[in-house]
Structure 1
Amino acid sequence: MTSLTDVQNTAFLAIGPSRIAALSLLALAQVPEGADGASAEEVLALSVQRLTSAHDMLGSRLDAMLAECSYALPAELEAKRQSCLELLSPLHHAVTAADGAVLAHARAVPDLAALCLYRLEPAVSEFLEDMVETLREAQQQREEERDAQMRATIATAEGVGKNIKFISFNASIEAARIGEMGKGFAVIATEIRELSGRTQNLLEEMSGYLKH
């Protein structure tokens, strides 16, 4: 089963590179048309891939991954996610334009430099920092609750085992009282008592592992 730690790592790797991708797109957009070389094309392709991946993660993909974990972002963190998505949208629109003229569309983005340098980068960085801390704490709390539930279940099973052992002991006494007719029953009662003892020892061992 996917944990919140897995979601955190996957989301970070998908969203984080969008910051350098936005700066790379800005740099390429400032190069005069016709001056783009082969290396610039490679950088542009990588920027397109990273911006698209980040936009998809901030959008539906992150929602789907969190839903699988039965978790939703706190309201404040969700607002930061939406803010990042909105800031990234103009760049995403530019790099996914149907005509393929990525740089032309990027140059047409209003205040491109301010968007990439002073708005998108700090917003994404703050969201990632808060997301990592929030999901880490949430996963830790889940693990603590799971361990507590396991210990409670084991304690209950230990209690049941003790009761079975006590009942089988009384059954052995009653079997002895009725003499020959109770021998078969006494054997069964002894086996139940021994099995209960072994089960209880196993539960105590498991409980010990959880306490360390």
Structure 2
Amino acid sequence: MNIEKEILRILNGYQLSCVLTTANQLRMFDPLAEGSMTAMELADRLNLSVKGTDRVLNCLTSMGILVKQEGRFMLPDEWKPFLTRDGDHSMQEWIQLSSDQVPILNQLPEFVRTGKHIANIMQMLGNDRERMRSFIGAMHDKALKATWMIAREIPIGEARHLLDVGGGPGTYSLEWAKLHSHLHATIFDIPPVVEVAGQYIRR
């Protein structure tokens, strides 16, 4: 193993994730999924600087996420389900969650030095409703595949009531309720989370 290259690979991983989270946070992928655009066209549409937009787009191209032809950038079909808001496997909120966790991870040296408690993700989100919604959405997206399997492996039988403590957006409750029409589920969580759960239930 080339130790120097391995260290650089690890460090570059952080830099590449910053490019991805920046593009995601600035909502660059949805317009690029509609068709090819120049950096100037995308910057104008999203009210961004042309210089900054061009650099991010070229970075994404070097990462293999975008395709660039004759100065125009586009998001290939295979990436669209994962990077667009309405994609079947959209990871936009999960990517945003990764970005929100950076300030917490940056406190790691202080935690190691002192052993004192550091802020958790809920404290970092505070009263920001949009970031809270994104966080809960990311938790929902992450749990979907596991939920589908677990709901079919754990028998409900004749049970008619389910209390989902710390139920988040109701991912598990919703899946069990779909499978068992006689089941009534109650989701118990903190108020901001329950508010988002209501949005998922009404869908």
Q: Report the TM-score when normalising by structure 2.
A: 0.31
More helix by share: 1
Greater C-alpha radius of gyration: 1
Q: Which structure's relative contact order is higher, taking Cα pairs within 8 Å and 6+ residues apart? A: 1
More strand by share: 2
Q: Report the TM-score when normalising by structure 1.
A: 0.30
